[in-house]
Amino acid sequence: MEILEINDAGCSFKDSVITIGSFDGIHLGHRKLMELTKDSSLESNSVSVVLTFYPHPLKVLHPETNVHLITTFEKKTELVEETGIDYLVYITFTPEFSGMMPEDFIKNIIVKRLNPVKIIVGHDFGFGVKKSGNIPLLEKLSGELGFELVVVEPVVIDGEVVSSTLIRRLVISGRVCAVKRFLGRHYSVHGRVVKGSGRGKHLGFPTANIIPEEELFPRDGVYVTQVRIGDKFYDSITNIGSNPTFNEEIRRIETYIFDFNGNIYDVEIEVFFTERLREEIKFNNIKELEERIKKDIELANLILRRRLKSKKDIVPLT
């Protein structure tokens, strides 16, 4: 897959099938759009294009809302590439761009630069200044400008419409088991391992401490996790919180990796959240903390073995 900015000299196609959106998270609804785009491009002998925006429009238009993004732009590109799309094209989203009229966006950017034979969008797609462009306008423009329009209904699972908003809500509440049903994979955060207090090592449970690149991560507590280091996966447990037993105030993500003793300082790792074990607890003394960590590890191992035995996929979907 090739990544292009809309104004790159090479960003011009003879024929394309495109889908357009912010695509935060690349959840199952997004994947449906991309899979249809890829399939349609093969049928029409065209290139497949995902058109997105950077930074996320909400970051520019409503910074006061402090929306937490599900994926970094780098993770988004990785996930788009997994769908087999030929090109990821992004528009640098600015206040000036946000003022573009919807007709100008379709005529001067979409049609002029990408030459679509087909545009595939979700049912709630909006575009142009204040999202004044809508599906009826896009249908009208498709007839005038000579491209086919396909509007895709939402993916509904367990009575819930799959959306980035839903996934954010589930992650923030710590419901990481439920997230996978809608995201299509376990939720994960990336980060480079940094030096911590060393307290975990002193207790006999050395942890990998990361500062996450993602803006969104689960509520405080202890989780059953898996860690990807390079191309290998390791079972683990992860604590998110401020270590109230030691009266700390800084929120941290600390992961104890089972059966691992390598030096991974300054190495980037990815932590996948599979199940929530418990709330973060303030213990009366270190002995109580040690005993509870041992119980957490035993329980995490039981959960991981149970999932393997039942053939539930605990390794993230790709």
Give the domain CATH number at 124.
3.40.50.620
**Does the residue 226 lie in any domain?**
yes
Q: Do residues 193 and 77 share a domain?
A: no
Instruction: Look up the pTM and report it.
Output: 0.90
Q: Do residues 43 and 126 share a domain?
A: yes
H helices of the chain, where? 28-43, 57-61, 73-82, 95-98, 102-104, 135-145, 164-172, 176-183, 199-203, 286-309
Give the end of a domain, one of 121, 154, 187.
154
Task: Please give the structure tokens belonging to residue 117.
Answer: 């034979």
**Does the residue 318 lie in any domain?**
no
Give the per-residue pLDDT at 204.
59
Q: Read off the DSSP letter of residue 15.
A: S
Nearest Cα to Cα of residue 212 among 78, 70, 54, 57: 70
Task: Report helix, strand and coil shares of the chain as percent, to nearest 5.
Answer: 35, 30, 35
Give the per-residue pLDDT at 197.
61
Q: Do residues 8 and 148 share a domain?
A: yes
- The answer to whether residues 67 and 76 touch, using CB atoms and an 8 Å cutoff, is no
**Does the residue 163 lie in any domain?**
no
Q: How confident is the model at residue 310 (pLDDT cuts 50, 70, 90)?
A: low
Residue-wise pLDDT for 30-44, tens only, equals 999 999 999 999 999
Tell me which of 7 and 249 has the higher pLDDT. 7
As a whole number, the mean pLDDT across the chain is 90
Q: Do residues 139 and 207 share a domain?
A: no
* Containing structural domain, residue 302: 177-309
Give the end of a domain, one of 122, 154, 186.
154
**Does the residue 220 lie in any domain?**
yes
CATH number, domain containing residue 211: 2.40.30.30
**Does the residue 295 lie in any domain?**
yes
Q: Do residues 229 and 280 share a domain?
A: yes
Share of the chain above pLDDT 90, in %: 73
**Does the residue 61 lie in any domain?**
yes
Give the per-residue pLDDT at 231.
92
Q: Do residues 46 and 141 share a domain?
A: yes
CA distance 250 to 245: 13
- The answer to whether residues 223 and 277 touch, using CB atoms and an 8 Å cutoff, is yes
- The answer to whether residues 307 and 180 touch, using CB atoms and an 8 Å cutoff, is no
Q: Do residues 183 and 226 share a domain?
A: yes
> Would you list the DSSP string of 87-133?
EEEEEE--HHHHT--HHHIIIIIIIIII-EEEEEEETT--BSGGG-B
- The answer to whether residues 86 and 2 touch, using CB atoms and an 8 Å cutoff, is yes
- Averaged pLDDT, 172-189: 95
Q: Do residues 281 and 247 share a domain?
A: yes
- The answer to whether residues 31 and 184 touch, using CB atoms and an 8 Å cutoff, is yes
**Does the residue 15 lie in any domain?**
yes
Give the per-residue pLDDT at 309.
63
Task: Please give the structure tokens belonging to residue 40.
Answer: 């349609």
Give the per-residue pLDDT at 12.
83
Q: Which of 32-46, 64-78, 226-240, 278-292 has the lowest mean pLDDT?
A: 278-292
**Does the residue 159 lie in any domain?**
no
Q: Do residues 45 and 106 share a domain?
A: yes
Q: Do residues 186 and 140 share a domain?
A: no
Give the end of a domain, one of 100, 120, 154.
154
Domain count, the chain: 2
Q: Do residues 8 and 146 share a domain?
A: yes
Q: Do residues 116 and 203 share a domain?
A: no
